Structure 1
Amino acid sequence: MLFLTSIDTTIATTSVVAITRDLGGFEMSSWILTSYQLGYVAVIVVFAKFSDILGRKSVFVFCIIMFTAFSAGCAASQTLAQLIIMRAFQGLGGGGCFALSAICLIESVPQSRYADTMAKNGVFIILATVLGPILGGVISEHTTWRWIFIIKYDQPPKPSLFYTFALTTDSSSAPIGLFAIVIALIGIPNGYPHQGRMLQKPIDSKSKRIWAQIDLPGSALLIMATLSFTACFQEADSSGFVFVGAPLAVVYFLLPQRFQLVNGISSLDAGVRVLPFGISSSAGVVLSGRIASKAKVPGIYLVLIGAILQVIGFALLSTLSSSETIEPAIYGYMVLPGLGTGFCYSTMIIMIPFVAKKCDGSVAIGAANQFRTMGGAIGLAITTSIFNGYVASQLSHLGIEISITELTSTAKDTLPEGLQTEIRSVLSDAYNRQMLVLCAFGAAQVPVALFLWKRKQIVTA
């Protein structure tokens, strides 16, 4: 489920152009990713706390069912609005799955193995992030974009929101989520992680104890506050707020679009071109985990190194030209922020059990993942706002009568070659400005990391 929920964060990035060609609304295209992240971020802490009260297994299975059902809804969407709504509910299930997966991983090993375990499992998350754009490109290139949300369905899309799915047979197949439900039901012990322990009170008082522990008004307020705070950035020109989680999600949204709209390559080719960032991110996760566990380097130093690498790499990516030819140097530029993102991503998660009280461990991990996802959503909102504002003003200044949505269609290809060159230059400058914003995000991690400074630094070995 870590893999599935993570791949759904990026699999649509290389399909955005294809989706908006079919459903329209390119100026709202960032909502395809952001709606998923908003749903994701809204419930991570809530589901983490609910699992403390109701049990890991029951909450986990519920989240997988929700994720699977609304994945089917995404595939069947007939308008962009429907897709955005379905993505939001898919994100609710995905956020719960991610939170419970991370909690169960921590609870399954002794503290001395946290760094090594999280590094290994971080590879699955980064691998999903790497494969997402490629799989999305393959699917969009050779069939309908709808297949990115499920394995396949038995008939072409029709004007309805849901289809009937069945487990894999010779004639049909189902979302992988159904397989995950079976694994969860069989593989997770009842009562995990407290299986085998006797109840201290009579069973008939259990339901009363449960409802006494659930803070429904507080949970509702937390969800609404998180959604309101994050969503406002998506709808407004934004500045001032930064979160550590921004670079990973935003890079996978921006670079594939740049390759398609500026360099004119296919969605599949665009996904492949982002591989250096994904591979180096995976390497950063593994390398930082090994350094932390074997060399016993304090986590704060790894975060600072990662932040510096991000600043340098994103600064270099902001210097790309508007040439249709892809500059070879871009692949080297992607490696630096990739390594830096991997360092920061894994180290911050690994440090949580060492700074939080044991009784608050599950909620602390949930909160960290919630802020990480909020960072991605807010970072994407800010960079999208900058892109839309700059492109619209520059096209108007040049007297080019073409909307931002039409930039993804063949309409711009009918313009004179000189105008096409000017449009490409405007788009390139807009993407470069977005990279400068990511530069600022990377730099902001330095003062944030310094809050973890101690006389005796935290070593996660």
Structure 2
Amino acid sequence: MSSTEVSPIEHGKIEEAGLETANSGTERAFLTGWRLHFTTLGIVLTLLLINLEVTIVSTSLVAITNELGEYSETSWIVSTYLITYMGFMILWSKFSDIAGRKFSFLATVFIFTAFSGACGGTRTMNQLITCRAFQGIGGAGGYSLSTLVTYEMVPKSKLPLYGAVNAASVALATLLGPLFGGLVNNHTTWRWIFYLNLPAGVCVMVILFLTIPSGFPDHTSSNLRKQRQTLRVTLQAMKRIDIAGGILMLGGSLLLSSALLETSLRFGWSNGGTIALLVLSGACWVLFFSWEWFISRDRVPQEPLFPWKFVHDGPWKGMLITTLFAGVPFNVIVVFLPQRLQIVSGQSPLDAGLHLLPYTFGAAFGAAISNALGSKRRLATGHVLLLGAALQVLGLALLSTSPTNNVFPSKAYGFATIAGVGMGMSFGMLVLATPWMVDQEDLSVASGAIIQFRFLGGVIGLAIATSMLNARVKTHLANILDARTLSALFERTEVLETFSPTVRAQVIHVFAQEYNLQSYVMIAFAAVQIVVVLVFWNPKWAARDLIQ
């Protein structure tokens, strides 16, 4: 018997433990029975919690800034979370290759839970922004490892089913986040949107600890013996983590976001500070890709966060660029639509959350459609991506026609639904197709990258949208409000209620006009996805039997 085969006796032990061998030629084992069911539950709850944090805050931003002040810093509450959320996804995936999936998964949930409590206890805006950054580090690992463990716990033939379950969890979080945020703000302090993660996070950690086998996914008896024998060289293996690449990626993202966000608040485009931030950001990205090229040539022990083979893989490169551009409009709508409904239409946080449901439900429905189309082979991967992008363009174009007064017409919720369905279809298919687009040895990096690039797009989109809104609103309101009143408005938006009806109508008109302009810009990012899919079209995307 070869060293890679499982003996009948050992196979029996594996089955008794709730495991099933991956195939007859390897010792990789899939989960079955109670382990599979409860691990799935743990993954679903993890995805639900960490994705709630992206949307639950959206309806709470006005309440947070009215208590802590500094409305102009609103986007940092979301962007800081997304920057670390985005920046650490691949790092966690690579770390789990060395420290193990189970330990890494538990560590991510612990960090997320601990700093959720810290966010709830903050007393200043700077404290909240800092704690959100650390919360995002934990959330990044939770998302990427949930996806990676799903890829490894069942055969590929079952991935459409479990991918659909995960997509439903993410969609449900997107759906319920604004609603929960509105409920919390209507009945108690905004701090409970963070405190509620404490008992939920502990529950998730217990489930994952009890159900994920030690050594997963190589948890057969002989593999565990090998792992114990090599435990002493773990510190040596830590050198494989591409820390330099992670720092450069974070630096590039943070500096670019800072330049875009702060330009409209404190600097101008010609200011030396803005120019310095943009130059440093560009330098970080150049150094990042140069470093990834260098270490991909096996000259150093680090394993690249972005293997250079990705650059030469047309279909995979196209998927990464597509998810980057899709992330831009998705996050902008989630954050700014509730703000529009509260500031312009005067709705409560709860009503704003309820009226965001058509968009988030559309995203959930779109993700379900893409998984159904993929699993039944009714439509090719490339066709789903084209359809998703086309629906985004249509929905955003219609949404940009909203009136520039305090009325948000009922038909606009239908427009938001169309855009949401398009977003969900794109995201669902991109995640589902990933295991078929890369080699098995690159799966951990790829599973993090497909999500990481989406949130990189979200960070860039929020920075662009915030910069545009703040700069243009300040310019147009300078002729309506005096400098002191304008400053007070950007500190706390509740000041709007003290204005006379005439002035309030003028201010609302300016805000509504700029929110529509955001939609115009988002149309461009949606349309670029169509171009990308057509440019990188490949037989891999066209094969109807890709997802089996």
2:374 to 292, 300, 310: 292
Q: Which segment drifts farther, 337-346 or 439-448?
A: 439-448
Letter of the structure 2 residue corresponding to residue 136 of structure 1: G
Separation in 1, partners of 2:361, 2:460: 25
Rounded Cα–Cα distance in structure 2 between residues aligned with 1:208 and 1:330: 59
CA RMSD of aligned residues (A): 2.1
Distance verdict in 2 for CA 1:281–1:437, change over 3 Å: same
After superposition, the Cα gap between the structure-2 partners of 1:232 and 1:293, relative to the gap in structure 1 and judged at 3 Å, is: same
Which one of 387, 401, 409 corresponds to residue 305 of structure 1?
387
User: What does residue 270 of structure 1 align with?
Assistant: 352
Q: Which amino acid aligns with 1:177?
A: G
From 393, 399, 415, the counterpart of 1:333: 415
Please state how far the C-alpha of 1:452 moved relative to its aligned partner: 4.2
What residue number does 2:453 align with? 371
Cα pair 2:366 2:425 within 8 Å, conserved: yes
CA distance in 2, matches of 1:374, 1:345: 14
The alpha-carbon deviation at position 318 of structure 1 amounts to: 1.0
Determine whether 1:250 maps to 2:273: no
Secondary structure of the 1:13 match is coil
Deviations 1:35-67 (A, max 9, x none): 111121121101101111111000111111111
AA at the equivalent of 1:208: V
Q: Deviations over 1:284-314 (max 9, x none)?
A: 1111111122144111110011001101111
The alignment status of 1:181 with 2:226, answered yes or no, reads: no
Between the two proteins, the alignment pairs up a number of residues equal to 438
Partner amino acid, structure 1, of 2:202: L
Q: Judging changes above 3 Å, is the alpha-carbon distance between structure 1 residues 202 and 344 closer, same or farther for their aligned structure 2 residues?
A: closer
2-structure distance, mates of 1:404, 1:249: 27
TM-score normalised by structure 1 residue count:
0.90
Q: Determine the C-alpha separation between the residues in 1 that align with 2:520 and 2:405.
A: 19
Q: Using the TM superposition, give the Cα deviation of residue 375 of structure 1 relative to its aligned residue in structure 2, in angstroms.
A: 1.1
Tell me how far apart the structure 2 counterparts of residues 81 and 64 of structure 1 sit (CA, whole Å): 24
Equivalent in the alignment of 1:383: 465
1:455–1:94 Cα change, 3 Å: closer
Residues 57-107 of structure 1 deviation map (CA, whole Å, 9 limit, x = unaligned): 001111111111100000000000000000000010010111111111111
Residue 243 of structure 1 contacts residue 374 of structure 1 at CA under 8 Å; is this kept in 2? no
Q: Residue type of the partner of 1:207?
A: R
CA contact (8 A) 1:391 1:427 kept: yes
Equivalent residue number for residue 249 of structure 2: 226
* Aligned partner letter, 2:362: S
Specify the SS of the correspondent of 2:219. coil
Pairing 1:19-98 to 2, within 5 Å after superposition:
19-98=64-143
Cα distance in 2 between the residues matched to 1:360 and 1:197: 25
Give the equivalent residue in structure 2 for 1:206. Answer: 231
**Aligned residue number for residue 409 of structure 1:** 493
The corresponding residue for 2:300 is none
- Residues 445 and 197 from structure 1, CA distance in 2 versus in 1: closer, same or farther, beyond 3 angstroms? farther
Gaps of 5+ in 1: 153-173
Q: Whole-Å Cα distance in 1 between the matches of residues 87 and 429 of structure 2? A: 23
Cα deviations across residues 383-431 of structure 1 (Å, max 9, x unaligned)? 1111111101111144554336625433222222211111001000111
2:547 is the counterpart of 1:460? yes
The separation in 2 between residues aligned to 1:295 and 1:353, in whole angstroms, is 16
1:142 pairs with 2:226? no
Which of 503, 522, 525 lines up with 1:441 in the alignment?
525
- Larger radius of gyration between Structure 1 and Structure 2: 2
SS of 2:365's equivalent in the other structure is: helix
Please state how far the C-alpha of 1:209 moved relative to its aligned partner: 5.3
- Greater Cα offset, 86-95 or 324-333: 324-333
CA contact (8 A) 1:234 1:385 kept: no
Q: Is the 8 A contact 2:365 2:424 kept in 1?
A: yes
Change (3 A) 1:405 1:282: farther
CA distance in 2, matches of 1:437, 1:224: 30
Q: What letter is aligned with 2:125?
A: L
Higher relative contact order (CA 8 A, sep 6+): 1
Q: Equivalent of 1:425, from 493, 503, 509?
A: 509
- C-alpha distance in 2 between matches for 1:226 and 1:372: 14
User: More displaced, 397-406 or 416-425?
Assistant: 397-406
Contact 1:53 1:214 in 2 (8 A): no
Q: CA deviation at 1:202?
A: 8.2
Q: Equivalents in 1 of 2:206, 2:536: separation in Å?
A: 41
| Corresponding letter in the other structure for 2:124 | T
Contact 1:353 1:361 (8 Å CA) reproduced: yes
Instruction: Letter of the 2:94 partner, please give it.
Output: K
Classify the secondary structure of the residue corresponding to 2:169.
helix
8 A contact 1:12–1:133 mirrored in 2? yes
Offset, 1:205: 4.1
Q: Give the one of 259, 262, 266 matched to 1:236.
A: 259
SS at match of 1:190: coil
Question: What amino acid maps onto 1:17 in structure 2?
Answer: V
| C-alpha separation in 1, matches of 2:390 and 2:95 | 38
Counterparts in 2 of 1:203 and 1:414: CA distance versus 1, 3 Å:
closer
Aligned residue in 1 for 2:216? 192
Query: Which residue identity does 1:272 align to in structure 2?
Result: L
Distance in 2 separating the partners of 1:237 and 1:412: 26
Q: Distance in 1 between matches of 2:260 and 2:477?
A: 18
Give, in whole Å, the separation in 1 of the partners of 2:160 and 2:211.
Answer: 24
The two structures have a TM-score, normalised by structure 2, of: 0.76
Distance 1:201 1:133 in 2: 48
Give 3-state SS (helix, strand or coil) of 2:486's partner: coil
Q: In the alignment, is the contact (CA less than 8 A) between 1:300 and 1:452 conserved in 2?
A: no
| Maintained 8 Å contact 1:247/1:376 | yes
Matched, 1:353 2:353: no
2:315 equivalent in structure 1: none
- CA drift of 1:451 comes to 4.9
Q: In the TM superposition, what is the alpha-carbon distance from 1:363 to its structure 2 partner?
A: 1.1
Give 1:201 deviation, angstroms. Answer: 5.1
